[in-house]
Amino acid sequence: MKVLSSWLHEMLDAPVAPEALAAAFDDLGTPVEEEVRLGEGLEGVVVARVLDLRPHPNADKIQLVDVDAGDGQPLQICCGAFNMAVGDLVPLATLGTTMPNGMTIERRKLRGEWSNGMLCSSRELELGDDHGGIRVLDVDASTGTPLRDALGIEPDVLWELEVNPNRPDAMSVAGLARDVAPKAGVGFRLPSPTVSTAGSRADAVAHVDIADPDLCGRFVTRVLRDVTVGESPAWMQRRLIALGMRPINALVDISNYVMLELGQPNHPYDLAKVAGGTLRARRARDGETLVTLDDVKRTFTTDDLLITDGDDRPVGIAGIMGGAACEISASTTDVLLEMAWFQPTSISRTSRRLGLRSEASARFEKGADPEVIDLAADRFCQLAAEICGAVTAPGQVDERGTLPGRDPIRVRTARVNALLGTDLERERITELLDPIGFTSTPVGDDLDVVVPSWRYDSEAEIDVVEEVARHHGYRNIPHRELTEPRVGRLSTRQKDRRSVRRLMTGLGLAECLPLPFLAPGQLARCGLDPHGIRLLNPLVAEESILRTSLLPGLMAAASHNATRRQTGVGLWEIGRVFLPPPEGQVLPDEREHLAVLLAGHDAPAAVEVWQVLADRLRLPEPAVENDVVAGLHPTRGARATVAGTPVGLVGEIDPAVLARHDVGERVAYLEVDLGALLDGPRRDEAYRPMSRFPSSDIDLAFEVADGISAIDVERTLAGGSDLVWSVRLFDVYRGPPLPETRRSLAYAVRLQALDRTLTDAEVAAARSSLIAAVESAHDAVLRG
């Protein structure tokens, strides 16, 4: 909402400095987003008369203009515009003038001809948008008169304020003035227009029918006769332009002016074009249509409220936009003025469905003031009389539907203080509420508060508490410390997640956070199940599917880096993936995954990461099970398992997937369900005593079929004797003389006892039992 200091001051009973008003707006929750000082930068601009126009001898696009700037002498100016004629009055920025944009006017030569100032367009003067030519002045002023005096421009301040949805009152100059006045320490007064009436009564020609009282709470019409529709006066146009509205004609301008000033949207119809002088508020019939003022044909549903005439013909969309048919024109003489209150939710729904927002709908959907209608109608009639010579018919037609209730709200003084941490007396609360129209009646220590008609948003005690806080001032509420004894901490899960992050960085890998949205086909390009949960309203199709795996994002990352010759990148990500909802649930099966991508590495590098990860999280019995896994190289992939349960995949990216992503190096990859790991069991953490006695090392090599997991063999060895301290796979051999489907696995086993040095016989016995255990469990043969 934009507002002018001068307009506000018409409703304040004493002047307030712009700085103080701006600060008060900030404190009240209608902060100043932009401030423009109007009329500044015009000091050196005077009215000049064009004496002569001559072509520039050396240029086509500029001409030479002689002007009289007040001393009767011709002054030569070079000008790029050609829209003025000899005798015209034009604005001249004299030498030394600093323009609103900061440029200083100097005497200079243009293509060899002197220019002794600058003739200005409206935009250059920041007096309008027009930059089509020099502003030709339609004023009765002598040359040399300062432009500001000639145009009657007072220095003014324009603020653009941010208005929150809970402040319908702040959508008008009056509402802002009312709210800011007590903060600024001045009084507030509404305009008090006087209307003289003549002719036959309004209800003799105008009729109103509220067919749907749930959607239309009040409907008032007045009749104005003998209207001359010309242009509105300059002061009004300036204010409308400043507040962001385009002047149309005097009646429309008055309508907008009243809306901006008092917050009451209204609509003037050409009475002659409204059948029967009748306006009716009724729900639309399905498929009914209307061409609105913006020349667009709109189609309605039964949720929409229309204004129709005596022939049941739609003449406007209630509270949003009028129809083209009954528009005010230059030939209009009699006006039917509509002032109504429409149900906010209904306006909001229709406006949203049609994608049609207007200044009127913005006010109605926040909740307009049903009781300001009479004043607004008076103001309209008064301005129409002054500007258009309108004669107002006596009386008005006033129908009421359902309006929001305004039962008193009990506001407990103790509650106010308990919520705010203040020590306000009941009387002080009353003083804070009174000026903004919240009228209160004492009830014991408390108050019964009636919310003003312009605060549709306020309906409960807490809403009143907020008003008290706003006007008391947030900065005046003393800070307090939380005193409840409590201990802050991260959960074990959160600590473990951090520990995983530290592990990943310790491995020298870089964390990335790609967008979690995928393009259609992106899952398939990664060799994964193509089905992912869809967004109904994606920004772009390329970001329309929720990821089911971190692989597509990291593969895209690998591809991005590879195409920039950044090879060998090591990336990781912890993020959510979204799987179809479990039976009977609406929300997806959302899981937190960890993925690690090692470009330039083959599968074992990923397995190593899995092993150190499992070690860091103390996972019980971590393993890999060779398998064909979607996305992975069919013969270099495995499932990562914990105690036999799959928790992820590990290996190398499928060469076909690499090719589709233009990645020319091998890529090792690990992805695990980190959430499941964090929530899952941990290995026993109990201390394992170390022996003070020397250990004995034995090496055992077994010939084992390819299908047998090296980890299983390792586990068998580890559990094969109480004397085993550690087992390490140190060599794998394939080739002659072994058969093709078998390989040799060589383990270094360290044996020791807590209480003695092992004898040769004990070591030999342990060795035999380990060999026997492996041979029987894995169809293995000890190699000689």
Partner 1 sequence: MIDEIRRIEDDARGRVAAVDTVAELVELDRELLGKRSALTGTKRQMGALSEDERRELGAALNAAQESIRGFLAARRAELEAVEREVQLGAERLDLTEVRADRDAGHLHLITQVVEELEDVFVGLGFTVAEGPEVEDDWHNFTGLNFGTYHPARDMQDTFFVDLGAPREVVLRTHTSPVQMRVMEGQAPPIYSVVPGRVYRNEAADATHLAVFHQIECLVVDHGITFGHLAGTIDRFTKAFFGPGYSMRLRPAYFPFTEPSAEFDVQRPDGTWLELGGCGMVHPNVLRNGGIDPEEWSGFAFGFGLDRLAATRHGVTDLRELASTDVRFLSQF
**Interacting positions 19-38 with partner 1 (CB under 8 A):** 26-29, 31
Q: Is the Cβ–Cβ distance between 690 and 726 less than 8 Å? A: no
- Considering only CA atoms, give the Rg of the chain: 41
Check residue 499 for interaction with partner 1 (CB under 8 A). no
User: Between the CA of residue 510 and those of 296, 526, 604, 674, what are the distances in Å?
Assistant: 54, 22, 19, 18
Please pick, from the candidates 296, 414, 515, 659, the single residue that binds partner 1 as defined by CB under 8 A: 515
Pick the stretch among 212-220, 374-382, 476-484, 691-699 that binds partner 1 (CB under 8 A): 476-484
Of 332-391, binders to partner 1 (CB under 8 A) are 344-345, 348-349, 352, 365-366
Q: Is 565 in the site for partner 1 (CB under 8 A)?
A: no
Give whichever of 119 and 216 is closer to partner 1, judged by the CB atom.
216
**Residue 736: phi, psi to the nearest 5?**
-55, 145
Q: Which of 133, 233, 310, 514 binds partner 1 (CB under 8 A)?
A: 514
The secondary structure element, H or E, covering residue 119 is strand 118-119
Nearer to partner 1, 514 or 620 (CB): 514
Which residues ranging from 524 to 543 are in contact with partner 1 (CB under 8 A)? 533-539, 543
Q: What is the H or E stretch that residue 177 is in? A: helix 173-184
| Cα–Cα dist 739/735, whole Å | 7
Q: Does 165 bind partner 1 (CB under 8 A)?
A: yes
Sign of the dihedral through C-alpha 764, 770, 775, 781: negative
Q: Which of residues 230, 442, 506, 707 is near partner 1 by CB under 8 A?
A: 506
Looking up tokens 């203080």 gives: 417
- Among 15, 72, 155, 421, which residue sits at the site for partner 1 (rule: CB under 8 A)? 421
By CB under 8 A, tell whether 83 contacts partner 1. no
Helical residues (DSSP H) of 243-320, grouped into ranges: 250-262
Segment 221 to 250, residues that bind partner 1, using CB under 8 A: none
The contacts of residue 495 (CB under 8 Å, 6+ apart) are none
From 95-103, 259-267, 331-339, 460-468, span contacting partner 1 (CB under 8 A): 460-468
Q: Which of residues 627-646 bind partner 1 (CB under 8 A)?
A: none
Residue 330 touches partner 1, criterion: CB under 8 A: no
Smallest gap from residue 364 Cβ to partner 1 (A): 11
Per rule CB under 8 A, count of chain residues that contact partner 1: 88
Q: Which of residues 579-608 bind partner 1 (CB under 8 A)?
A: 581, 586-588, 590
Q: Is 547 in the site for partner 1 (CB under 8 A)?
A: no
402 is a site residue for partner 1 (CB under 8 A): no
At what angle are helices 426-433 and 461-472 packed, to 10 degrees?
Answer: 80
> Measuring CA to CA, how many Å separate 665 from each of 504, 571, 584?
22, 15, 44
Check residue 166 for interaction with partner 1 (CB under 8 A): yes
Min dist CB 24 to partner 1, Å, is 11
CA distance 471 to 474: 8
Q: Does residue number 420 form part of the binding site for partner 1 (CB under 8 A)?
A: yes
User: Which residue's CB is nearer to partner 1, number 25 or number 257?
Assistant: 25
Check: CB of residue 258 under 8 Å from CB of residue 188: no
Taking the complex as a whole, the smallest distance from the CB of residue 623 to partner 1 amounts, in Å, to 26
Residue 593 C-beta: closest distance to partner 1, Å = 13
231: its two tokens: 């242009």
Q: How far apart are CA 382 and CA 718, in angstroms?
A: 100
| Stretch of residues binding partner 1 (CB under 8 A), selected from 70-78, 278-286, 482-490, 772-780 | 482-490
Q: Is 505 in the site for partner 1 (CB under 8 A)?
A: yes
| Interacting residues of 580 by C-beta distance below 8 A, sequence separation 6+ | 531, 533, 588, 589
Which of the ranges 190-198, 217-225, 473-481, 664-672 carries the binding residues for partner 1, by CB under 8 A?
Answer: 473-481
429/717 with CB nearer partner 1 = 429
Q: Quick check: 688 binds partner 1 (CB under 8 A)?
A: no
- How big is the CA angle at 717 (ends 715 and 721), to the nearest 5 degrees? 120
End-to-end alpha-carbon separation of the chain, Å?
91
Looking at the Cβ atoms of 201 and 576, the one nearer to partner 1 is 576
Cα separation of 522 and 526, whole Å? 7
